């Protein structure tokens, strides 16, 4: 059988009512070079839906009324800054049908059996992608299931913000008159505490590491056993993220086998909404970027030889420093750009998609079976934390973090984590 996806022509979906015009400022965090030009791709897979393309298209149009900036375009100014031009043009939308069932393609579990581009909107050839904020494709399968392929601008949303908007679309799809969470902009209330200019001159030369793709499931029992062990040894609690990050760091460090003195590190984006009280007193509903990078580092030998309890303690110490570091950054006291992570083999990043809100999206036929984010860059190793397929409980790690020669050792380490 030849698998194929038939797409209708892409169309702009505008707000269903008249919306305000004019330009809106982005925040200092939105405009950091690490975020401002980044697009985030993910596929959300649902088991069942009745005319999902029609329902979601109409819901998107309604959601773009309270979220009218998303219907606009990012506009680069003469001074190198960037604003949101509230043009009301709309978000690009594509309706598609597949000639196969989800079961035929393993429910779109990665690695995908057909190219990912089949599930994402492609703009007309005469339309530039520059400045586009949000694009969506709904693909219907022969089994009645459907997928939603989303491409969104990181300058507009962080993970929590993007999920907030997608949940607003789902609210409209279920017939609610307004989103459950009312959006607020308030980006002008965040001080211009960081020079938000992209670096001048030619881009740095980066090494392409050709990372291998792999996945691993960590059971809920293993996670809970380790939480108990950490409590018994330290008298403190730790989070699932702490445990999984420690496991991943030690497994990868042992696998890549760098010299004992070489520094290894990992970074993650910490949510800072709880630190926004003085800037945005009513922070619920804020859908801009509110992330600050936390980097944890140590000598390779230390991570190789440490117990998981010791590594979790390192991670918790770094997290505890977040309020003071973020405060210093807002006051311009940081000497270095915290968003500038070294792109070398000793570094990786980890992202937790389990708590941002995508797993709660319900267009009227239930929450997604699973999510398919894409971490396809080859310049820095990456882990994404997801939920494993039901009925499993725990964490699924989607990984692109080691080259082929280290994959066997890494797989062995990651499957013997505790």
Q: What is the mean pLDDT of residues 264-279?
A: 88
pLDDT score recorded for residue 388: 93
pLDDT per residue over 9-67, tens digit each? Answer: 999 999 999 999 999 999 989 998 888 889 999 999 999 999 999 999 999 999 999 99
Q: List for the chain the helix, strand, coil content (%; round to 5).
A: 30, 25, 45
| Confidence (pTM) | 0.94
Residue 200 confidence class, pLDDT cut points 50, 70, 90: low
pLDDT score recorded for residue 192: 74
Position 313 pLDDT exceeds 80: yes
Identify the CA nearest to 27 among candidates 285, 280, 278, 205: 280
Q: What is the mean pLDDT of residues 378-394?
A: 92
The angle at the Cα of 391, spanning 165 to 237, to the nearest 5 degrees, equals: 75
**Cβ pair 226, 310 in contact under 8 A:** no
Identify the CA nearest to 248 among candidates 341, 322, 339, 352: 352
Residue 274 tokens read as 């709880």
Which of 136-145, 157-166, 372-381, 388-397 is least confident?
Answer: 372-381
In whole angstroms, give the CA distance from residue 65 to residue 264. 46
Q: What is the mean pLDDT of residues 329-357?
A: 85
In whole angstroms, give the CA distance from residue 308 to residue 417. 9
CB neighbours of residue 188 within 10 Å? 11
Which of 116-120, 137-141, 193-197, 228-232 is least confident?
Answer: 193-197
In whole angstroms, give the CA distance from residue 275 to residue 190. 11
Classify strands 82-85 and 73-76 as parallel, antiparallel or unpaired. antiparallel
Residue 45 tokens read as 């897979």
pLDDT score recorded for residue 196: 43
Helix, strand, or coil (residue 263): strand
Residue 79 confidence class, pLDDT cut points 50, 70, 90: confident
**Cβ pair 171, 364 in contact under 8 A:** no
The runs of H, that is alpha helices, within 120-177 are: 159-173
Classify strands 134-140 and 23-25 as parallel, antiparallel or unpaired. unpaired
Q: Which domains does the chain have, with CATH numbers?
A: 5-189 (3.30.559.10), 212-414 (3.30.559.10)
Q: How many helices (H) and strands (E) does the chain have?
A: 9, 16
- Which residues form the catalytic set? 154, 362
pLDDT score recorded for residue 207: 81
Spell 330-344 as b/e; 16+ CB within 10 A means b.
beeeeeeebbebebb
Position 204 pLDDT exceeds 80: no
């Amino acid at each position: 059988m030849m698998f194929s996806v038939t797409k209708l022509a892409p169309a702009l979906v505008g707000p269903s009512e008249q919306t305000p015009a004019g330009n809106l400022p982005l925040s200092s965090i939105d405009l950091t070079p690490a975020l401002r030009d980044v697009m985030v791709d993910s596929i959300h897979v649902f088991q069942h839906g009745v005319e999902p393309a029609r329902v979601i298209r109409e819901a998107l149009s309604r959601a773009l009324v309270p979220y009218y900036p998303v219907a606009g375009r990012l506009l680069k100014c003469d001074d190198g800054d960037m604003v949101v031009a509230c043009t009301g043009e709309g978000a690009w939308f594509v309706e598609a049908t597949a000639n196969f069932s989800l079961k035929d393609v393993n429910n779109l579990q990665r690695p995908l059996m057909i190219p990912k581009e089949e599930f994402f909107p492609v703009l007309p050839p005469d339309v530039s992608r520059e400045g586009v904020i949000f694009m969506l494709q709904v693909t219907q399968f022969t089994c009645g299931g459907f997928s939603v392929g989303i491409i969104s601008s990181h300058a507009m949303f962080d993970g929590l913000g993007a999920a907030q908007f997608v949940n607003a679309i789902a609210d409209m799809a279920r017939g609610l008159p307004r989103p459950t969470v009312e959006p607020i902009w308030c980006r002008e209330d965040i001080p211009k505490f960081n020079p938000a200019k992209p670096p001048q001159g030619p881009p740095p030369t980066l090494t392409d590491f050709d990372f291998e793709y792999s996945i691993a499931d960590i059971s809920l029992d293993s996670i809970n056993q380790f939480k108990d062990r950490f409590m018994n040894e330290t008298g403190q609690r730790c989070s699932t993220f702490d445990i999984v990050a420690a496991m991943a760091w030690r497994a990868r460090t042992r696998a890549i086998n760098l010299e004992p003195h070489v520094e290894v590190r990992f970074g993650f984006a910490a949510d800072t909404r709880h630190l926004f009280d003085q800037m945005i007193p009513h922070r619920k509903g804020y859908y801009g970027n509110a992330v600050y990078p936390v980097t944890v580092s140590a000598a390779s030998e230390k991570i190789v030889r440490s117990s998981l309890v010791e590594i979790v303690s390192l991670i918790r110490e770094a997290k505890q420093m977040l309020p003071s570091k973020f405060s210093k950054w807002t006051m311009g006291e940081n000497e270095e750009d915290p968003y500038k992570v070294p792109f070398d083999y000793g570094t990786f990043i980890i992202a937790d998609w389990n708590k941002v809100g995508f797993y709660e999206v319900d267009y009227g036929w239930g929450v997604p079976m699973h999510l398919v984010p894409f971490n396809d860059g080859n310049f820095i190793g990456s882990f994404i934390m997801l939920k494993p397929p039901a009925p499993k409980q725990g964490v699924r790690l989607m990984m692109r973090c080691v080259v082929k020669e280290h994959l066997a050792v890494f797989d062995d380490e990651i499957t013997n984590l505790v």
